[in-house]
């Protein structure tokens, strides 16, 4: 294997262990990888990079360490048992005709060592693949390998966000090249706008699941085209169209090239909707039927999950751009460009209407779902233009509320507690049983567990400043960060208008009193990025940093952690006592961070939106709002800010 490190025989099992991202949800493996190189593990969390970085002398020292070698063999044996044992899917659906689920998504948040995500959509898709692995659901993911991915965040002294784009060297990522029978890089050929391009393929292993990643950064391609897959959600509309053609059309071609015959094609958001066209085209070629029949037949096996709560959030393309890029492809489908454009329009006869990817996904799918009960209702309303004269309640959009891959988000302390109380199969059994068992745990045990989690978060923040002191230049260098023994609130997510991250800043004086009350002390951990083009979101970050900087009386009690990523998210959801969530209803399609907080013993203070509408129980959290929609009403924002202040003061 090219670029694979040469390891002594006693350490040879480290290579498959490092390349199986199952290590990302194993607390035991964390200890092993940290032993190899504590500093590099803390900085990168990338076992594959660590293996390539170790000196021959260090490797030989480890190979001579009998205790370490036993740990390696124990992990390798545990991995073999995991891959070979009967799964939930085999036990409950052994007779199912389901062969393979092809899961298409623009981003995947599996681990910080593979930075191919921007936010919630990617985290959800990563958790989906991990859960499928644990349950034994036969799934393969399809995505893109970005040279730079999403931006990394720097915050200057004034609170301004600076976006930087480090390069992702694929040979340092925990992925391997897919090769053909001759051992050469597997390359797929595709024509973009009249030009022939080559697409390389990489593979990530996630336990029993696989993720294939398409890459145009091939020396065989012109320099201008190698940049098509440079950034996630970067560039302009034309680059977005190119990426989505690559994901959907070439992604489906890849599966067929590999000999896979997916029963289900799952489109996680509309970005991958072109896959329904390529699946139909393939059916046409095999069965010698026309496009209309092929689309009708294949539609039954396509599933579209929408995460978007507003119609403006769907990708839409200028008709002229579609004409320029799809004239060749329409010839292959045997249809005219107008017929193709009609699939992405509410009014097929309106030549000026943009091409909507969500509309194409709906017309090409046999089932459509939102990601929470409320979002299902919102989606039915959004898609009424496609179903004229239908009662809104009967529009065929269901809902499946999002969830989380719990082992990826539980702290070591939470993992031990749940295992002791509920057993090793805790996350695969009926979740109703878990509630009954955990309620029997003494309050003292739960409080000790919460305290340890909070202490770990405080230590993480302090270590972060020690490692990256410039990231906290808005604070005096001698101010101790956070107190491990007081109520800790958390707010970490994308900073954008509808999430209202500044709701707590509505009355700065009242907020200051909350954080300086000696009788009821509390502190707040903030983190989040704003899209580089979202000026409003960046201004909200700036407001918080300036608030902290200009009020020395709360220095160390309120902190903004820069460069929010998976590793930081894990620490925050594990350590906070209460999670604050303030979206403007109904714009939070689901939201899952609060679920991660619950498994670690934290509570939720949340708007009645997304998943919290279904999960809210006064025994495990608090609700903001009245369960109704009020649009962007400043007066209502102030009312809910008052609710939040009063709740925290009590």
Structural domain includes residue 423: yes
In a domain, 103, yes or no: no
User: Domain end: 85, 118, 140, which one?
Assistant: 85
- pLDDT per residue over 555-607, tens digit each? 899 999 999 999 999 999 999 999 999 999 999 999 999 999 999 999 999 99
Residue 203's DSSP bridge partners are: 176, 212
Residue 239 lies in a domain: no
Can you list the alpha helix ranges (DSSP code H) found in 395-550?
A: 412-422, 431-438, 443-467, 508-516, 535-549
For residue 467, whether the previous peptide bond is cis, meaning omega lies within 30 degrees of 0, is: no
Nearest to 243 by CA among 352, 107, 101: 107
Q: What is the pLDDT of residue 610?
A: 96
What is the rounded average pLDDT of the residues 123-148? 97
> Residue 91: inside a domain, yes or no?
no
Which residue has better confidence, 31 or 436? 31
**Average pLDDT of 46-52?**
97
Cβ(29)–Cβ(14) under 8 Å? no
| Alpha-carbon separation of residue 81 from 78, 85, 171, 579 (angstroms) | 5, 6, 29, 37
Q: Which two three-digit tokens encode residue 230?
A: 């440079």
Mean pLDDT score across all residues of the chain: 95
pLDDT digits (tens, 9 = 90+) for 151-202: 999 999 899 999 999 999 999 999 999 999 999 999 999 988 778 999 999 9
- The pLDDT of residue 2 is 46
Predicted confidence (pLDDT) per residue in 312-342, tens digit: 899 999 999 999 999 999 999 999 999 999 9
**Is residue 169 in a domain?**
no
Residue whose token pair is 């091409």: 355
Which residues, in sequence order, are CB contacts of 369 under 8 Å at separation 6+? 303, 304, 305, 306, 376, 397, 398, 399, 400
pLDDT at 357: 98
pLDDT, residue 266, reads 99
Which of 51, 85, 119 delimits the end of a domain?
Answer: 85
Encode pLDDT of 237-291 as tens digits: 999 999 999 999 999 999 999 999 999 999 999 999 999 999 999 999 999 999 9
Which of 85, 113, 140 is at the close of a domain?
Answer: 85
- Helix, strand or coil, per DSSP, at residue 294: helix
Question: How confident is the model over 366-406, as pLDDT tens digits?
Answer: 999 999 999 999 999 999 999 999 999 999 999 999 999 99
Q: Is the peptide bond prior to 586 cis by the omega test (within 30 degrees of 0)? A: yes
88 has pLDDT over 90: yes
What CATH number should be reported for the domain holding residue 576? 3.40.50.2000
| Mean pLDDT, range 290-300, rounded to an integer | 98
Domain that holds residue 69: 9-85
Task: Give 435-474 pLDDT, tens digit per residue.
Answer: 788 888 999 999 999 999 999 999 999 999 998 888 898 9
Whole-prediction pTM value? 0.96
Please return the burial class of 272, using the count of CB atoms within 10 Å of its CB with bins 0-12, 13-18 and 19+: buried
- Note whether residue 371 is domain-resident: no
Residue 341 domain flag: no
- What does the pLDDT average to over 504-521? 94
pLDDT greater than 80 at residue 1: no
SS3 359: helix
Vertex 145 angle, CA 16 and 200, to 5°: 85
Q: How many domains does the chain have?
A: 2
Q: Hey, how many other C-beta atoms are within 10 angstroms of the C-beta on 219?
A: 8
Look-up: residue for tokens 């001698």?
A: 478
- Write the pLDDT tens digit of every residue in 480-498: 999 999 999 999 999 999 9
For residue 316, is it within any domain? no
Residues 172 and 49 sit within 8 Å (Cβ to Cβ): yes
Mean pLDDT for the stretch of residues 65-83: 96
State the average pLDDT over residues 41-58. 95
User: What single string gives the DSSP state of each residue in 237-248?
Assistant: HHHHHHHHHIII
**pLDDT above 80: residue 431:** no
Q: What percent of the chain has pLDDT over 70?
A: 100
Which of 151, 177, 172, 171 is CA-nearest to residue 231?
Answer: 151
């Amino acid at each position: 294997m090219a670029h694979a490190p040469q390891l002594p025989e006693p350490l040879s099992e480290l290579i498959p262990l490092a390349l199986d991202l199952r290590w990302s949800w194993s607390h035991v493996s964390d200890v092993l990888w940290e032993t190899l190189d504590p500093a590099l593990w803390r900085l990168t969390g990338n076992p594959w990079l660590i293996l390539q970085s170790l000196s021959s002398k260090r490797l030989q020292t480890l190979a001579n360490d009998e205790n370490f070698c036993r740990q390696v063999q124990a992990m390798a044996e545990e991995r073999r048992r995991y891959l070979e044992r009967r799964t939930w899917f085999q036990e409950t659906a052994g007779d199912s005709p389901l062969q393979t689920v092809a899961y298409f998504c623009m981003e995947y948040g599996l681990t910080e060592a593979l930075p191919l995500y921007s936010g919630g959509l990617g985290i959800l898709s990563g958790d989906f693949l991990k859960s499928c692995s644990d349950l034994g659901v036969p799934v393969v993911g399809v995505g893109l390998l970005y040279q730079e991915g999403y931006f990394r965040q720097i915050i200057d002294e004034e609170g301004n966000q600076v976006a930087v784009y480090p390069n992702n060297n694929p040979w340092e990522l925990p992925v391997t090249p897919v090769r053909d029978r001759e051992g050469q890089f597997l390359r797929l050929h595709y024509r973009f706008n009249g030009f022939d391009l080559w697409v390389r393929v990489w593979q990530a292993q996630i336990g029993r699941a696989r993720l294939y990643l398409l890459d145009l950064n091939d020396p065989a391609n012109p320099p201008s085209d190698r940049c098509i897959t440079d950034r996630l959600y970067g560039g302009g509309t034309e680059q977005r169209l190119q990426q989505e053609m690559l994901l959907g059309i070439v992604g489906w071609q890849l599966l067929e090239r590999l000999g896979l015959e997916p029963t289900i094609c799952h489109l996680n958001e509309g970005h991958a909707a072109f896959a329904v066209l390529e699946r139909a085209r393939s059916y046409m070629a095999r069965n010698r039927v026309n496009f209309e029949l092929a689309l009708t037949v294949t539609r039954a096996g396509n599933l579209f999950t929408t995460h978007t709560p507003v119609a403006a959030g769907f990708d839409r393309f200028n008709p002229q751009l579609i004409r320029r890029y799809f004239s060749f492809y329409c010839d292959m489908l045997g249809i005219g460009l107008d017929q193709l454009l009609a699939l992405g329009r509410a009014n097929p006869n309106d030549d000026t209407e943009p091409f909507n990817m969500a509309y194409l996904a709906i017309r090409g799918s046999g089932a459509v779902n939102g990601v929470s009960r409320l979002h299902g209702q919102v989606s039915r309303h959004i898609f009424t233009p496609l179903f004229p004269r239908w009662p809104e309640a009967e529009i065929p959009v269901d809902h499946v509320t999002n969830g989380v891959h719990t082992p990826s988000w539980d702290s070591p302390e939470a993992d031990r507690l749940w295992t002791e109380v509920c057993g090793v199969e805790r996350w695969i059994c009926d979740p109703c049983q878990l509630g009954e068992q955990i309620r029997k745990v003494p309050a003292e045990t739960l409080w000790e567990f919460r305290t340890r989690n909070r202490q770990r978060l405080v230590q993480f923040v302090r270590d972060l400043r020690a490692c990256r002191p410039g990231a906290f230049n808005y604070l005096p260098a001698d101010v101790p960060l956070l107190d491990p023994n007081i109520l800790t609130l958390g707010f970490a997510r994308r900073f954008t208008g509808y999430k209202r991250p500044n709701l707590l800043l509505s009355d700065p004086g009242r907020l200051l009193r909350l954080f300086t009350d000696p009788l009821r002390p509390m502190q707040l951990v903030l983190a989040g990025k704003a899209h580089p083009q979202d000026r409003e979101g960046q201004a909200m970050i700036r407001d918080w940093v300036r608030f902290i900087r200009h009020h020395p009386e709360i220095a160390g009690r309120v902190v903004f952690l820069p460069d929010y990523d998976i590793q930081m998210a894990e620490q925050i959801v594990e350590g906070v006592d209460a999670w604050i969530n303030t979206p403007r209803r109904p714009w939070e399609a689901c939201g899952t961070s609060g679920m991660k907080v619950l498994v670690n013993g934290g509570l939720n203070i949340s708007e009645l939106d997304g998943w919290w509408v279904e999960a809210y129980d006064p025994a495990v959290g608090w609700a903001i709002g009245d369960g109704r929609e009020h649009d962007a009403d400043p007066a209502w924002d102030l009312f809910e800010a008052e609710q939040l202040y009063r709740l925290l003061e009590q």
